[in-house]
Structure 1
Amino acid sequence: MTKSAPVSSALAPSATEADGLPWIEDAGKIAPRDARQLSKVFFDQLQVLEEGTHEYQYARNTLIEMNLSLVRFAANRFRHRGSGEMEDIIQVGTIGLIKAIDRFDLSREVEFTTFAVPYIVGEIKRFFRDTSWAVHVPRRLQELRVEIAKGKERLAVTLDRDPTVAELAGHLNLTEEEVIEGIVASNGYTAGSLDMPSDAADGQTPKNGRTFADVLGEPDPAMQTVEDLHALAPLIQQLDGRERRIVEMRFGEELTQSQIGEQLGISQMHVSRLLARILKRLRTGMLVED
């Protein structure tokens, strides 16, 4: 691990001054303690330099590089998120650092570190709030979820039990519908794999080896039949008595065309023509209904 360099070694050999500022070769190697002292000098000059000039950009960029240790410090709070996201955390934390530098005022008589860390942490938290939801949820509901979670925690301590929806609504000055909406929205925060054991969701040791995919329902083919029969009912009522009788014998009693012809005293060919005409009429009616 590379140690932070003291100020003397980070300055250029000539230690030339740039508009009242020391020229620093590698601001990222400045030790945090030295960075705090140097930052005051750079902030003091940043307030009098003209924005957009080379000198202004040098002062601003040096402040960013000198104080990146604050970003790493804040990012360590979120290391449990996994190393894969640490690079993103550092990037968004740096955005927070830049915002803090642009808004810092020496006249506040507050240490820059004290001022900057909330900006950095806030930017990181906003990043997780906007990107960690498994299902896209509107910002309003994301914020409502956090508000409900905090209210639920406070009430649980007071009541020694989980609060009801009505109690949460009263405590947060919300309607019960809004509380329910926020609770439902919180279901979009995390998602489990369909390959996860079905009994692992309750914190139990998986026993049966069945996954969520194994217990999911499937579309029931009979449902389409039910829908078709429901749509056919008024169309069949429009048929005359003999036509309805033919449909009933063919598809209800499952008689052959010859058997139908014998019962009605007509030829099998005539039954075939009648069935074709009836079915065409019913199909046309179904298409019009769609």
Structure 2
Amino acid sequence: MIPNPVPTRADREVRMSTKTDVDVMELWRDFKAQPTTSLRNRLVERYLPLVKYNAERIWQRLPDGVDLDDLISAGTFGLMDAIDAFDLSRGVKFETYCVPRIRGAMLDELRTMDWVPRLVRSKHSRMEEARKALEAIHGRPPTDAEIAERLGVTPEEFEKMALESNAVGLVSLNKKWYETDSYKDVREIDILEDKKGEDPTRRLQRKDLMRMVTRGLNRNERLIIILYYYEELTMKEIGATLDLSESRVSQMHSSIIQRLQSQLADRRPEFGI
């Protein structure tokens, strides 16, 4: 008779994991069949470690003053919403489904939270008061050393205060600017002016203007316009480049300008000139 093998630790862990998965599936089926508060609380307890794990990861990248418990609380509400909305029939793991909702709830909480600590705001106010007082006394912007002396702190302490107070001026790009009747609110990032951006209408106008300017010009005439107005060469340098005399280049330039002025006369309002 062959004796039964003694189960190893790995075997026991596999059996426990399988049993746990079966229990969780039964809990899910019971909750979807009858979504009571008691069953939902049991599911929340089961997946609460996911909330704590994601809260700690986000919290590590945040400045001092943000409470970890606030993130966990917001993530728990996100977990509860995910439990209510989860569809068992889709065959998706709940862990995969709920994590984006948990993190989204935490990020929404951060957007509505003033994470700048009161002490930092107090230091910033003191620095601004000292700066204004010294500016009124001296009639000029004060130096950092003068502000530090008025505050009664060392240069090293003032440098630290100045660094911390920079946080007061930070603005979240996701901060709500105002609400609209549509599903999407207007946020700070939607109203920021892109100073590097180019008006597409003006770009099309410039292309149209360039086509009109160069239309009817021969090779030497186009080169004179480009070299003089874009490359900023002198008439003498252009003449050397095109193997023409300086007076001839000047004569051709005057003729080109006269023709262009005539062509542009009717289109001045269109190009704003």
Q: How does the TM-score come out when normalised to structure 2? A: 0.37
Q: How does the TM-score come out when normalised to structure 1? A: 0.35
